[in-house]
A and B are shown apart, each in its own frame.
Chain A
């Protein structure tokens, strides 16, 4: 902060008030209720005010017997983290280079906006419909399998295109790459063009410029994009559910099932743990790069 203070930055902290009010009303209070409820008892039809820890104990039941199989909770978290890590890596790779193309190769703002819109339009067809449409695309008798068979590349339909880890990752990358592109792009267009021009003139190659200038300078954008992707994948249950044929585990799915059976305190306890774990991941990420530095 010291470096900036010689600049003039007006203080408008009150401008954050409406923002904070929305979060107070629609996030803090409900979250508070959720945390309270996670200590309540419940039966089939109602939740009973109480102060018990059973909901938490129940989640970790059998998790600390090291001679037995991994318990359900740990297995589920491992599976969730696995999806999270793979999706993160892939969206980062794809998102970074798409943003790179948009920021450094596309010259005018209108064309940048057009290309962004082109990337956004598929998302205006409801996800409910798009999820259904993966089946005719990837299925046993789907468009891709049929095309590959027609071209003689394969003899029999490939089964793992659908209802597999592959299809889950594919759908997640499809959904969330845009969440990576936008912040990275915004970081990139803030990079002072003269630095890059200078490096060019000094004879630096594109790869050198990329690794020595651009990547370091858009780290905040990368971290912000990573926060988006990691958080939404950690809580996902729709995509992993549908694309995994409901046979792959994710913590969001467990919470969803519990909610459907009105086991609210159990679901609340799971949500609190999920929140806790994800916050640790995010804090670790921001440990490396303070995204609010140099604001």
Chain B
């Protein structure tokens, strides 16, 4: 089926197999490999992207469903070679170890900040509950989100999560 889809502000027209997931379409047809495939079953969140303004697990969306839709991925997060403030905070707080979960983490964190501009630690944990980090660096990720939302002080001791 032929689909028209806008990804990170760029309009694409592509023929895509009906059984292709949005994730495979992004990675293999458009070459946007920042979005990762972890479990392929909606558990790990590594494939999280924005679909019409809401975060979804792109492994559980068909590419054809995105016809006439808008997608945003990690590739659209920085602009003009400059990291976004959220990316900078992840960098500053060492919230990236192997990096496999990071693209999904950034997407979910952005959605959380959008609907809860000043989240508590509990709200951050809940907002990121669908994103697994197997390097177990959750604490740094929470610090990074607190940093861009004004909730972080360097002295603060965070509870282990």
Are A and B part of the same complex? Answer: no
List residues of B whose CB falls within 8 A of some A CB.
none
List residues of A whose CB falls within 8 A of some B CB.
none
